[in-house]
């Protein structure tokens, strides 16, 4: 089978950008290259027949991670010169080179020795998917066959948020994260923050709803909605919430709690944790998704916001 030229070009660009992120002169250039790299990765996922993964990569891998790192670069500006003074010795560089070439070679040998035909679970998924009532096999896997992974993922997100919040100095605990942004109310940022969110919200909710049968789903949707919220904050049109407000705390845990409740309901009615009784799969999947969406939007946006940094205990 011939490899299409597009794939070769994408791979060449991808490797070039990866090298660039590692050797770039300063952190800003490295992060900028990484953002482009993330968008290019989304193209890779399309080439690898993973449109759902591509949407997630573009939204989270390239978008949110890139924005987070760019924000960090801005605040780390002053520390770069000192770190550059610690540049690794030639010896360390040599060892690193040998080690990374060795790891790459070992992986290449594994790839070349992969079994034929490849192991796959696609037939089982195709066979069982109609029982779940969803048409998108990825959604079926995420919320029926491997629902436990998705539950643990939601829990990991909440734990990560607790981790970020815990880094707040005591005097700011319970306050609001990030700076209070002020921008020109007639400027382009404020304009965009008024025009884009309505469109973003519609696209986000469409992706959420279409995810049952087409590429899309709650993660991609939640990322877009979180990005719209960040835009409103950065334009100074809204403020980040206090982390001790009830609705924030409630919203952060509602998704995992409903998920666990549905799981226990399954244990009671279908004999297995997260099992769905016959004919009930679709409504239970929808219940989980609807409960997870606000949690994901809140947690993703609050992870972007960082620990509280002003207006401590009331």
Partner 1 sequence: MSVETLFALAACALVGIGLYGLIVQPHPLRKLVAFNVMGSGVFVLFGALAMRGAEAGMAADPVPQALLITAIVVAFAATSVTVALLLRLIESTDNASLADEPSAGD
Residues 222-281 that bind partner 1 (CB under 8 A): none
User: Nearest distance from residue 141's CB to partner 1, in Å?
Assistant: 4
The answer to whether residues 288 and 258 touch, using CB atoms and an 8 Å cutoff, is yes
User: Nearest distance from residue 225's CB to partner 1, in Å?
Assistant: 14
User: Nearest distance from residue 221's CB to partner 1, in Å?
Assistant: 12
Tell me which residues in 103-132 interact with partner 1 (CB under 8 A): 103-104, 107-108, 111, 114, 118-123, 125-127
Among 5, 9, 36, 76, binds partner 1 (CB under 8 A): 76
User: Nearest distance from residue 47's CB to partner 1, in Å?
Assistant: 6
Q: Note whether 5 binds partner 1 by CB under 8 A.
A: no
Tell me which residues in 175-194 interact with partner 1 (CB under 8 A): none
CA gap 132, 280 in Å, rounded = 8
User: Nearest distance from residue 247's CB to partner 1, in Å?
Assistant: 21
The answer to whether residues 59 and 224 touch, using CB atoms and an 8 Å cutoff, is yes
Tell me which residues in 85-104 interact with partner 1 (CB under 8 A): 85-88, 92-93, 95-97, 99-101, 103-104
- DSSP label at residue 239: -
Name 286's Cβ contacts closer than 8 Å, sequence gap at least 6.
212
| CA angle, 59 then 60 then 64, to 5° | 100
Among 43, 134, 157, 235, binds partner 1 (CB under 8 A): 157
The answer to whether residues 296 and 218 touch, using CB atoms and an 8 Å cutoff, is yes
10 Å CB burial of residue 211 (0-12, 13-18, 19+) is buried
Tell me which residues in 36-55 interact with partner 1 (CB under 8 A): 37-38, 41, 44-45, 47-50, 52-53
Segment interacting with partner 1, rule: CB under 8 A, options 158-166, 178-186, 243-251, 265-273: 158-166
User: Nearest distance from residue 18's CB to partner 1, in Å?
Assistant: 5
- If the CB atoms of residues 262 and 304 are measured against partner 1, the closer one turns out to be 304
> How many residues of this chain bind partner 1 (CB under 8 A)?
97
Residue the block writes with tokens 């919430």: 241
Name 231's Cβ contacts closer than 8 Å, sequence gap at least 6.
192, 193, 196, 197, 200
Segment interacting with partner 1, rule: CB under 8 A, options 6-14, 186-194, 197-205, 232-240: 6-14
Q: What is the largest CA-CA distance in the chain?
A: 67
Tokens found for residue 178: 């990030």
Tokens found for residue 136: 């998108």
Q: Note whether 195 binds partner 1 by CB under 8 A.
A: no
Q: Note whether 1 binds partner 1 by CB under 8 A.
A: yes
The answer to whether residues 223 and 203 touch, using CB atoms and an 8 Å cutoff, is no
CA gap 133, 277 in Å, rounded = 12
- If the CB atoms of residues 36 and 237 are measured against partner 1, the closer one turns out to be 36
User: Nearest distance from residue 303's CB to partner 1, in Å?
Assistant: 4
CA dihedral angle for residue 48, residue 50, residue 55, residue 59, rounded to 10 degrees: -60
Which is nearest to 278 in space by CA: 286, 267, 269, 287? 269
Among 132, 133, 134, 150, binds partner 1 (CB under 8 A): 150
User: Nearest distance from residue 224's CB to partner 1, in Å?
Assistant: 14
Q: Note whether 79 binds partner 1 by CB under 8 A.
A: yes
């Amino acid at each position: 089978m011939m490899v299409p030229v597009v794939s070769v070009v994408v791979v060449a660009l991808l490797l070039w950008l990866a090298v660039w992120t590692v050797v770039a002169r300063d952190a800003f250039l490295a992060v900028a290259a990484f953002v482009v790299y993330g968008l290019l990765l989304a193209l890779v996922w399309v080439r690898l027949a993973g449109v759902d993964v591509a949407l997630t990569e573009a939204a989270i891998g390239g978008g949110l991670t890139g924005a987070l790192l760019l924000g960090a670069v801005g605040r780390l500006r002053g520390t770069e010169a000192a770190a550059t003074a610690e540049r690794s010795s030639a010896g360390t560089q040599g060892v690193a080179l040998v080690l990374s070439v060795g790891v790459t070679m070992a992986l290449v040998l594994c790839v070349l020795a992969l079994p034929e035909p490849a192991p796959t679970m696609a037939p089982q998924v195709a066979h069982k998917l109609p029982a779940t009532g969803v048409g998108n096999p990825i959604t079926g896997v995420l919320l029926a066959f491997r629902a436990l992974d998705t539950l643990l993922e939601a829990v990991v997100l909440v734990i990560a948020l607790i981790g970020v919040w815990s880094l707040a100095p005591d005097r700011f605990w319970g306050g609001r994260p990030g700076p209070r942004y002020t921008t020109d109310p007639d400027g382009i940022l404020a304009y965009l923050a008024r025009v884009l969110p309505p469109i973003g919200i519609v696209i986000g909710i469409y992706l959420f709803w279409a995810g049952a049968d087409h590429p899309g789903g709650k993660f991609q949707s939640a990322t877009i909605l979180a990005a719209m919220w960040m835009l409103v904050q950065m334009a100074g049109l809204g403020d980040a919430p206090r982390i001790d407000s009830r609705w924030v705390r409630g919203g952060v845990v509602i998704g995992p709690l409903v998920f666990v409740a549905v799981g226990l309901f399954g244990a009671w009615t279908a004999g297995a944790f997260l099992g769905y009784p016959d004919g009930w799969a679709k409504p239970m999947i929808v219940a989980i998704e609807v409960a997870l969406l606000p949690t994901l939007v809140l947690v993703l946006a609050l992870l972007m916001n960082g620990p509280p940094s002003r207006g401590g205990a009331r």
